[in-house]
Structure formats: structure tokens, C-alpha cells
Structure 1
């Protein structure tokens, strides 16, 4: 049997098995997909212990950096972000991909934001890097990055320059923020947020796209909705990045659509929403 797993620490909360297994059932593939708790220290040993029945791995926190280092090749999104969330296992070694950026871009486009003129990212961690690549893929050219520590956003300034984007950084304590078509929040769902800062961010308008798919609604989403704005959670990102992983695991290419892909996508959506 062909085997796939999702690795991370913690991992019990992962919805990847439901998503991925729904896809393989729809495609008529008798593949297995399980969770495994793996930390950064044990990653290399665990990777080296896999036999030929393993076709690929999905990686979640805190393994995206060590997976990047382990990959013998990396796609463009992985190279830009320094992050790998997908490993395709082959005789010549693991091949790395980042489907997070594509997942954000596909979900925003599905929501009608396929060409945002202006955008904002809240946070400056690894997910913010994927969000910036996604916004660049959609054609955004002006992005404001709001961070608790502006110095932490230095790598995003460099990445914006590489992508041909104008990136400005503002502290979360700023008195006001620019208006934008979309705000992508990459803050953890349980992260505390000053209510004043939340209100100032919400005053900028546009859609709030919060990558969190647990701990909903977040403090920022509540502030957005209290002003009559639209706030959506990150389940769509999870869904679309998983679809791109299925493309990698079945065809080796995140750009190659699956057979009857719309039906596969709907089966995956139903697996996590119950619809």
C-alpha cells in the first residue's frame, strides 16, 4: 500500500487525514494517510527510517524549516519562503514544495480577490512570508506589514523587493493604518491582541482573511465584524493547500490539475465541514 503521513508537534489536531483521504477515495486510490508526532530533533532520523512504501509527507509546525533543509530540490514558492510543507519522496531524495502560498492565493481568488490593489499582512512569521508570496502571485504591488516588532519584518522587506512589490512596515502600536482591499492575519488564534490596535486595523476596511481555522472567531475577527466588515477564517487555505499537496503526491507537480478536480475539491470540503 502507498503510504502518506502528516508530521508535526503537536499533531493530534490536524485535519489533514480527513482532507487527503477524501481526495484519494474520490480518485479511486487505496492509499493510507496518517498522523505522526515528530519534532525537529527527531526529524532526520524519522525521515531516514521510512521504507519504499512511503510516497510523501505533509509537514506542519515546527518542521517546515528542517524539511526545507532536507529537500534535494525545492519549488519556487519554497525557495522564496524558505519553508517546505510538502515532501515528495523519491529514489534520489525528498523533493520539497510550499503549497501554503498557493493555498492562500487560490482561496482569495475564489472569494473574488484575484487582483487586490492594496493589501496588509498582520504578523511577520513564516506564514506571513507565504502570505506575501501569495499576494504577489495575485498581482498586489503595495503591501503594509503590521508587526509587534517591526524589526522582525526585515526579511519581508527583502522578499518584497525580490517580488517587485512595495512593502512598508508599521508597528502594531501605530495610531492608524492604511486602508486596504484585504488584510491577511497570520497571528495565532489564541494570541492576545490590544482592542485598540484591533479597532484601528478594522478601520482600514476591506476583507479580513484570517489564516486561523481553530479558535474562531479571533479577537481581530470580532473587531472587524463589530464595524460591519467581512471576516473569513482559514479553512479555505487549508483546503486549497491540501489539494495542491494531492497534486504533488499523485502527479509530482502542484501545477497539474487532478482528474475531475472539482469533484475532488468538493469531497475534501465536505470531509471537514460535514456538508
Structure 2
């Protein structure tokens, strides 16, 4: 029987996850039909109730990828949350855990994970960022929470979180507290000077939301941050928004000589971990599988 998996979110038509996952399962020889399903936060409980009913009728579902705005809400829809997702309170992956052979009476369990953290860490490391002495995050939602965890893994001693409303950033604040990473929540307006001096910047803002900041950064880089030209050189920027690409902030960063990591890189690496969960692989996903995933979305193949 062909299994099922899907990416859930709203809106979802732009998602590249189906291309990534279908390429992986075809290369692995796994019969798993992966689709994109538009689900709002209000509609999530009813959708998950239908999924549980389907699971009772037969072992059809193998996994769910979860994107905005469902990552926090999904925590309450699974049977267990594991790993860093438990500290973050943010789930982007649901695996369907089947009972061991000989224990068919046990129910299939829905287990929540967060593979965004691994996606961010591996994307940054692939670009040469092995540590983050000075770090900043743009945005304060669920993906920002994953960014905080990634910076912790990259040995960042602290981080600045830049948001439109400094009374918000609930998910990022909670993640920082749970992980013990000191943070300062600061207004997005006027953030350019701090970003220009950071070693690693992770933008979790929606597409085009960073455009005004990009113009400010471009002027700052051109002026050398008020000093001699060339005094300020940007570090590594990961912009999780990958459509349209390049974003304005990515273009400004590149023109100033900085390193830009497209959000597509993060998407690939987090999907690699999802493939492992959905297929039950206990070892790393083979390099040739990652290669076809890259091919499917027009990304360069990895060099292992």
C-alpha cells in the first residue's frame, strides 16, 4: 500500500516541500505519496481528527511537515513532543510511530519534532559559519525560536532579537529562556548598525518584510557605518524567505561583500531530517538522495 505524507500550512501553494520529498522517496524506492494541504490554524484540530481516524482505519499516514502558521498549534495535536521541540514549544514535523512487530494492539503514536534547528545549523555550517560570537535574529515567532536554538548550538554567547513590537516575540523569548541563551529584544527600526557588525544574522521575516531594512543597510554599507569606506563588512546572513529570490536584504548583503545563505538551504536540510523520520531510517540520509533533492529545487549539489 502506498503511504501518505504532506506539508500543512496556510497559504501553501508556493511550498517546495513536495518537490524535495517526492525526489527523495523516488530515489529511496519508497512508495510514499507526498502532497501540500492548505490548513488554517482554526482548521487544524478538525484536520488532525480526520488524520487520526484515517490512521485507525489503516496505516496510511507516515508523516506531516508543518509550516506557518501551525508550528505552535501542532504541539497540542500530537501524543508526544521530543527533542528540542519540547523546549521550543514549536513542532514542524510529525512522525507516525508504529508499534514494534508482535505488538499490533498498540496504537500508532503521533510524535512531534523540530527539524528546523538542524536545517538552520547545517545550512550555516555548509556556508562556513562554524560559530556565532555576535548573533542577531530578525523576527520573534516559531522559526525565530528555532533560530535561537541553532545559535545556541553554534556556541553563540547571546543574541539580539529584532522585532516590530518589542512587547511581543513570545516564542523567541520562551525559547531563549528554555535554552539558557541570553537575549535582548530590540525594535526592528534602526537595527542596521547592529546587523552590520554581527557575525551571523538569521532573518525569519516573511517575504519583503525586510525590504525597508535592506535599503537602510545598503546605505550603511556604502558609508562604511560612518567611518572610512570598507570599515564595516557584513558576516553571514541566512534569509529563510526564499520566494522571491534574491530578497532585497540578501542583495544588499551580497553587494557589501557578505555571505548569504538562501532559505532554500535551510529548507533542504530540514527536509532531509524529515525524510529520515518519515521512512524510519536509523542512519543518515544517503548523499545521493540529498543530491536529487537539491536537483528537484534547483539548488547546487552538496560536496561531501
- Whether the TM-score (by the shorter chain) exceeds 0.5 is yes
Residue 235 of structure 1, CA deviation? 0.6
Is the Cα contact below 8 Å between 2:23 and 2:293 reproduced in 1?
A: yes
Deviates further, 179-188 or 227-236: 227-236
Deviates further, 166-175 or 233-242: 166-175
- Matched residue, 2:44: 43
Of 262, 274, 281, 1:245 maps to: 274
Residues in 2 aligned to 1:226 and 1:31: alpha-carbon distance in whole angstroms: 42
Residue 252 of structure 1, CA deviation? 7.1
Matched, 1:236 2:291: no
Residue 121 of structure 1, CA deviation? 0.9
- Matched residue, 1:29: 30
Structure exhibiting the larger radius of gyration computed from Cα positions: 2
Residue 134 of structure 1, CA deviation? 0.9
- Matched residue, 1:100: 116
Residues in 2 aligned to 1:160 and 1:199: alpha-carbon distance in whole angstroms: 32
SS of equivalent to 2:95: strand
Residue 24 of structure 1, CA deviation? 1.0
Deviates further, 17-26 or 237-246: 17-26
Partner deviation per Cα, 1:20-56 (whole Å, 9 max, x = no partner): 1111111111221112222222222222223231111
Counting only pairs closer than 5 Å after superposition, residues 123-162 of structure 1 correspond to structure 2 as 123-153=139-169, 156-162=172-178
TM-score, reference length from structure 1: 0.89
Partner deviation per Cα, 1:195-225 (whole Å, 9 max, x = no partner): 3266559956211111111122222223223
Matched, 1:190 2:215: no
Deviates further, 106-115 or 170-179: 170-179
- Matched residue, 2:228: none
- Matched residue, 2:134: 118
Matched, 1:273 2:302: no
TM-score, reference length from structure 2: 0.81
Structure 2: stretches of 5+ with no match in the other structure: 98-106, 226-231
Residues in 2 aligned to 1:154 and 1:204: alpha-carbon distance in whole angstroms: 31
How many residues get paired? 271
Is the Cα contact below 8 Å between 2:95 and 2:110 reproduced in 1?
A: yes
Structure 1: stretches of 5+ with no match in the other structure: none
Residues in 1 aligned to 2:181 and 2:141: alpha-carbon distance in whole angstroms: 18
- Matched residue, 1:71: 78
Aligned-residue Cα RMSD (Å) equals 2.3
Residue 248 of structure 1, CA deviation? 0.8
Is the Cα contact below 8 Å between 2:119 and 2:268 reproduced in 1?
A: yes
- Matched residue, 1:223: 252
Cα distance change, pair 199–241 in 1 and its aligned pair in 2 (3 A): farther
Is the Cα contact below 8 Å between 1:122 and 1:145 reproduced in 2?
A: yes
SS of equivalent to 1:124: coil
